[in-house]
Amino acid sequence: MLVLNNITFEFGSRALYSDTSWHIKPNEKIGLIGANGTGKSTLLRIISGEYEISKGEITGRKNLSMGFLNQDLLSYQSDNSILHVAMEAFEAENKLHDEIEEVLEKLHHDHSETLIHRLHELQTQYEALDGYNIQYKAEAILEGLGFSTADLKRPLREFSGGWRMRVMLAKILLRKPDLLLLDEPTNHLDLPSIQWIEEYLSEYEGTVIIVSHDRYFLDRVVNKIVEIANEKLIPYSGNYAFYLSEKAMREELQHAQFKNQEKFIRNQEKLIDRFRYKASKAKFAQSRIKMLERLERIDDVAAGNTEIRVNFNFSQQPGRMIAELSVKSKKYAELELFHDAEVKIERGDKIALIGANGKGKSTLLRMIDGSERFDGKLNLGHNVIKSFYAQHQLESLNLQNDLMRELQLHAPEQTDATLRALLGAFLFSGDDVFKKIKVLSGGEKSRLALAKTILTKANFLLLDEPTNHLDIQSVNILIQVLRKYEGSYVIVSHDRFFLAEVANKIWYIENKKLKEYPGTYEEYELWAERNKKNLQTESMKTKSEVQVNKLRNNGKQASADKKAKQKLDREVKLLEQQIAELEKKKELLMAQLSDNAVLKEHETVKQLNAEFKSVEENLASIQEEWEQVYLRWMQMEDN
């Protein structure tokens, strides 16, 4: 399908890939992974043709169609509705639709058989492309990605960047390209939408390459992993869980081979040193030196930053009850998010708050924090010290400080080594730790604010999307930190692996109430799936009855359609018979008016002309009626 053969790509003097190859095959679902900065997004741009390689070649199937979802699409704007934007994917269908509309417009004043035939031809082509269902397809995908039916008519410009990205994703999916390139597709999706796209991509008839830091997503969608490491593309035939197991085995073998080679080299060097200066053995020593020079060295496995030591020192221990929230109502204008909702948080609770966007998750965190007004009461427990991480916390950063200084002032009891290690875990390495905060990007500031939150002395944390802007390694570090944390917390996140590792309770919002599942995320998923199946079983009888009624109604409709078509058929034949009779009468009148004997009779001619005019008018009227009935008959025939 597509082959990258011995490619090299360089940014300035730095090579991202060097003399590496990759064969992309039909119907593969591939997860492209690697540490931040290794060039995952860049590789997608190379495949799409946006970037050119320094060396090597890329060959692919002729007329290979591609769809590329990338972060640049966030800037796309349009005054058209999101349904219209998504339906722009159907270029051929839209062109045919416009042509059909033009022909129908012409038929108001041009009733020629040529035009009627052209309409039939266009409608046949449109139906062959399934054109009558394109709006349904677009609506289904947009609603699967979280849009309400009412949203579909709203202009794209009214939506935030994340929602616009969903529209762009819908447009790309509707095109159904042979090769689908997705750069962080779950970044702007909530859990229901992520689960929907997992099912969609699993059944997608084409090749998909996904860059993602969502381990659950990769495990459930991909059947192959390609890792970018040491300027090479390294394939693994399985999902992310398989990759972890296989990589551990490969690294164990590589380390053993490295140790054996090191031992071999030391032994050879001892022999060389022993015989180098003996005339009788000099030739032997030189051969050993050349052999070592030619030896292809095995690299040891790079040590990963897998553990970080951070000590949490609470200034005081809280009581058993952390917080109690009673909400009579919480509204934004006419939209009510919560009504008569209550919740309690006890010491030791590690709570994951999940659900679709727009249900009020972030609002609830702010209500617990005390920074969001609502109709109700909030009671914090004895000795509770809280800390809140969210995007707006970036405002608390001192832009004139460098990263190290910001953390030193915030956590003076921590050593510089610990602070450097923590910054490294959140992707700040080397001299980056001495950058001024004012030069950081939004994502970098988010990571720094999260590092500050982790170092807090608070015994109660509120964390809103803490894994945004983190790679898989950094998420693992955050998991380690939260496992060691002895306080309580409530976390909003769409990263299911992360939630499964850090939560012991699940909150979800249903019917404006806050409901709790007392267990881990994996247990909650199993429970939710069982409930779903039970509801499906309970509704089977009702559905069966509905289906029977539907079949009965369909049968009645089919019978009615048949009768209507037969009626139209009779009307067409009757009108054709009337047209034939009028045309025959018209010919007879024309013959009489051409007779010289008749022309001498003034009154007779006057009477014949009046009759001729009446016949012509009747004929034109009946022909117009025939065209309308015939068009309706053709539509029923096509259906």
Domain hosting residue 630, numbered range: 555-638
pLDDT value of position 544 = 62
In this prediction the pTM is 0.73
- Chain mean position to CA 3: 26
42 and 108: one domain?
no
448 token code pair: 């720094």
Q: How many domains does the chain have?
A: 5
Residue 166 has pLDDT above 60, yes or no: yes
Task: Return the CATH number at 394.
Answer: 3.40.50.300
Q: What is the CA radius of gyration of the chain?
A: 36
Residue 274 has pLDDT above 90, yes or no: no
Mean pLDDT computed over 491-495? 93
328 and 471: one domain?
yes
Whole-number Å distance between alpha carbons of 157 and 283? 79
Residue 306 has pLDDT above 60, yes or no: no
- Chain mean position to CA 365: 26
125 and 183: one domain?
no
474 and 433: one domain?
yes
- Label residue 109 by pLDDT band (50, 70, 90): confident
350 and 474: one domain?
yes
197-211 pLDDT, tens digit each:
999 999 999 999 999
Domain assignment present for 421: yes
Domain assignment present for 247: no
197 token code pair: 């796209």
pLDDT value of position 312 = 66
pLDDT value of position 25 = 93
| Phi-psi map region of 583: left, alpha, beta (phi>0 left; psi -120 to 50 alpha) | alpha
pLDDT value of position 426 = 80
| Contact residues for 34 (Cβ-Cβ < 8 A; gap 6+) | 40, 227, 228, 229
110 and 34: one domain?
no
Domain assignment present for 454: yes
Mean pLDDT of the chain: 86
Residue 112 has pLDDT above 90, yes or no: no
- Label residue 72 by pLDDT band (50, 70, 90): confident
pLDDT value of position 600 = 67
441-460 pLDDT, tens digit each:
777 888 888 888 888 888 99
163 and 188: one domain?
no
Residue 294 has pLDDT above 80, yes or no: yes
Mean pLDDT computed over 397-408? 92
Strand order across the 321-332 sheet: 335-346, 321-332, 375-380
For 467, other C-beta atoms within 10 Å of its C-beta total 22
Segment among 113-117, 317-321, 361-365, 566-570 with least mean pLDDT: 566-570
Whole-number Å distance between alpha carbons of 451 and 406? 10
355 and 376: one domain?
yes
Mean pLDDT computed over 165-191? 91
Domain assignment present for 303: no
98 and 229: one domain?
no
Give the per-residue SS3 of 332-366: ECCEEEEEEEEEEEECCCEEEEECCCCCCHHHHHH
- Label residue 543 by pLDDT band (50, 70, 90): low
- Scanning the structure block, which residue is given the tokens 């139209």? 568
Whole-number Å distance between alpha carbons of 632 and 228? 61
9-62 pLDDT, tens digit each:
998 778 899 999 999 999 999 999 988 778 999 999 999 999 999 999 999 888
Residue 221 has pLDDT above 90, yes or no: yes
Residue 67 has pLDDT above 70, yes or no: yes
DSSP-based helix, strand, coil % in the chain, nearest 5: 55, 20, 25
Domain assignment present for 301: no
Polymer length of the chain = 639
Among candidates 424, 377, 372, 381, which has minimal Cα distance to 403? 424
| Contact residues for 87 (Cβ-Cβ < 8 A; gap 6+) | 94, 134, 135, 138, 174
Distance set, CA 627 to CA 277, 327, 569 (Å): 110, 65, 13
443 and 527: one domain?
yes
- Label residue 417 by pLDDT band (50, 70, 90): confident
Instruction: For residue 321, give the 3-state DSSP assignment.
Output: strand
Task: Return the CATH number at 604.
Answer: 1.10.287.380
Residue 606 has pLDDT above 70, yes or no: yes
Q: What are phi and psi of 62, to 5 degrees?
A: -65, 140
pLDDT value of position 565 = 74
Domain assignment present for 302: no
Give the per-residue SS3 of 357-406: CCCCHHHHHHHHHCCCCCEEEEEECCCCCEEEECHHHHHHCCCCCEHHHH
397 and 530: one domain?
yes
Instruction: For residue 208, give the 3-state DSSP assignment.
Output: strand
Instruction: For residue 189, give the 3-state DSSP assignment.
Output: coil
Whole-number Å distance between alpha carbons of 566 and 563? 5
Domain assignment present for 12: yes
Residue 548 has pLDDT above 80, yes or no: no
155 and 206: one domain?
no
Residue 305 has pLDDT above 60, yes or no: no
- Label residue 484 by pLDDT band (50, 70, 90): confident
- Label residue 222 by pLDDT band (50, 70, 90): very high
Domain assignment present for 312: no
624-636 pLDDT, tens digit each:
887 777 777 766 6
- Label residue 619 by pLDDT band (50, 70, 90): confident
pLDDT value of position 638 = 59
